[in-house]
Chain A
């Protein structure tokens, strides 16, 4: 039997008291665990999951069932529990979930939608199962070129930005801004491959290792030293799971730096400023995973006319859009009224903002769909920060 990561946690999982701090925001004003908020049964709380993982995979008191899979895979890996659990082992909560998933993937017990996701990545390098040859279609009518040795940055777009029609626009927007700023960069085009962040979150350790190997080889062959990512998910994988052979930035960090050192000037771009009230949604893989809360806000605040209104739940208390951990594809959370994305969109709308800004292609597609479901599209626009910046730059 292959030793999975769960082995490393088997003396820790039972330490969860099921006390429920992990369900809340930090002031207990609301529930902040996406699946618990929707399902409300204790089984769907982080503590419930810990107890079930322990009972099924460690103590082997209960059978593995489809509903257990569902409980495990509704977790969006948003890390709210890590942030809110008061115990010393809190840092490992999502690692335990991931390790449990690894175990069930290993035992071929993963739900069909997860299997599809993983097989698609394996075959086509993306979860949608779209042909590899179409990966760069989003860039067709742009001047964005392929990465060449010597370019300063590799622009890694990721699967969602490459294939999801709504997010493709964000991918183009960022490309346009980078072109305009004169940065030397390029994309891998059809040679780009999934970074594997979600593959890892879904528990396919072997495939994730393979993706790392392939990507690293490609980066080495091309002499890549710096990567800028559209997606915080890719940023997270590159920064925390890949060998430290290159420097990686999320695009909000790069744009923030470019504003600071004068390479990008948003203050003079539009005569009358932007004149919009904006609320910003923190993506989990940028915020809670990597502590980057300021860069996007600094960019927004540097735009004349922008009034930034915070949602009640922001920064480390931000409520996940529900798309993390592969849920943007597997959709274990559904799209009913109580789905996280729709709850989040209503929260954004309640601020009175006209635009809900995100800095993640996954959040963009999730929240964009939710706005439509809520019939709020006339009142609240969902935009990626890259699209806002492009607009300011009159591109």
Chain B
């Protein structure tokens, strides 16, 4: 029996043959994602159901020194779940239990494979007054995958990014120990991550290089009865930072994002979209009035205009949770889409805006923007590129455009969010050497055999 057959058999011994594959078809699908990155090879696809199974698989991998890449929805678009050095892709989607909702302390304890869609509907049906922060990603992506990459959702402008909403986790360490993090390490309640040394930070933003999260407690927030969208537009790009500052000075928006598109012409302006919500209709109206008042201050409403009638399709796009943002994949009838998510200081937005347009035009594309304001301190600035998957040259163009966008991001003092390998490399090169060394030391300490998604955040 060859080496690979022996490992395959060991994996089958752990979870049975139905959920282990080394067949060509699974290896093909799991060796690429819907973004523009080139495919990379995979040796085994495994779908565990229990934490014990995860533990046994990790122990096996650690003994045999086989790379493991944990996967949720696999939808970062930056191929973070496509192994760099082969090995096992651990698809977590069968671990899909919503274990508990604690209504009064407002948290949900879920397994790693619970999709955004599943939690959304579960709360709508059982706890209609509560909500979690839902990204614009397709509903099949996982709540855990999203939190682990510092994702952001439709209430992030008010409550912070989704990794900040993590109360605690259960993690299988690369050496196989099952470890509880946060209040659950000393209490049956999963209600807070502190006051303890902030261990969740060892797993948030690490792209699965420090362990496998099997359970996670995520904060829930009040869900107001009434919601509405306000849209304002301007052509003065230089005003953007100031407007963001003003809008976030009054803490009344649930969501706040900027949107613009070169085509059609009527979309080719800077649109500020503010989602307001309220427990009472009067509250909603008051919030709307207050925002209108702020915008009135810009040259008596001449510089920034209120969009009186938002087109119903657009209103739907603004208010839907999640909206159908994946439509971008069909802009060029090609099924491909990727974006550099630049996390930028607010005052760098106008320059990023202009340079993003330049990059798109350099590659013969039109620009298309959706940027979310993250709590009044930074912005997720999306350099978005749609491409034709059937056309390798087009995909290559997008890879180059992403690379240029990453460089602009770093140039402007920003950081690349959920960066693909190229973006990670740029950041590591620029990083303070002692920080880089600390990252390496933490990885070595937790994962002495370097089995966890190796190749990410350096080797």
Contacts and interface: CB of A to CB of B under 8 A. Distances in A.
Interface of A: 11, 14-21, 23-24, 27-29, 39-43, 48, 51-52, 54-55, 59, 61-63, 65, 67-68, 71, 86-88
A48 B31 CA distance: 12
B25 A65 contact: yes
Interface string B312-325: 00000000000010
B18 A20 contact: no
Given A15-B335, A17-B34, A18-B34, A28 B139 contact: yes
Contacts of A54: 390
Contact of A28 (B30, B47, B121, B334): B121
A52 B390 contact: no
Contacts of B34: 17-19
Contacts of A28: 115, 117-118, 120-121, 139
Contacts of B25: 43, 52, 62, 65, 67-68, 71
Nearest to B45: A41
A14 B140 contact: no
Ranked 6 nearest A-B pairs via Cβ: A28-B117, A20-B140, A17-B329, A19-B138, A14-B390, A15-B335
B305 to A, nearest CB: 31
Interface string B123-146: 011000000000000111000000
A63 B24 contact: yes
Given A28-B115, A87-B330, A62 B140 contact: no
Interface string B106-127: 0000000001011011101100
Residue of A11, A24, A54 with most partner-chain B CB within 10 A: A24
Contacts of A41: 19, 21, 26, 29, 45, 47, 91
A178 B121 CA distance: 45
A48 B25 CA distance: 9
Interface of B: 18-19, 21, 23-26, 28-30, 34, 45, 47, 73-75, 91, 93-94, 115, 117-118, 120-122, 124-125, 138-140, 324, 326-327, 329-330, 333-337, 388-390
A75 to B, nearest CB: 14
Contact of A16 (B94, B124, B335): B335
Given A15-B333, A19-B329, A42-B91, A52 B28 contact: yes
Residue of A40, A59, A68, A71 with most partner-chain B CB within 10 A: A40
Contact of A19 (B18, B118, B326, B388): B326
A366 to B, nearest CB: 21
Given A19-B329, A41-B45, A14 B335 contact: yes
A19 B140 contact: yes
Nearest to A25: B121
B78 to A, nearest CB: 15
Given A15-B335, A86-B327, A27 B18 contact: no
Contacts of A16: 335
Contacts of A68: 24-25
Contact of A55 (B21, B26, B28, B121): B28
A65 B24 contact: yes
Contacts of A55: 28
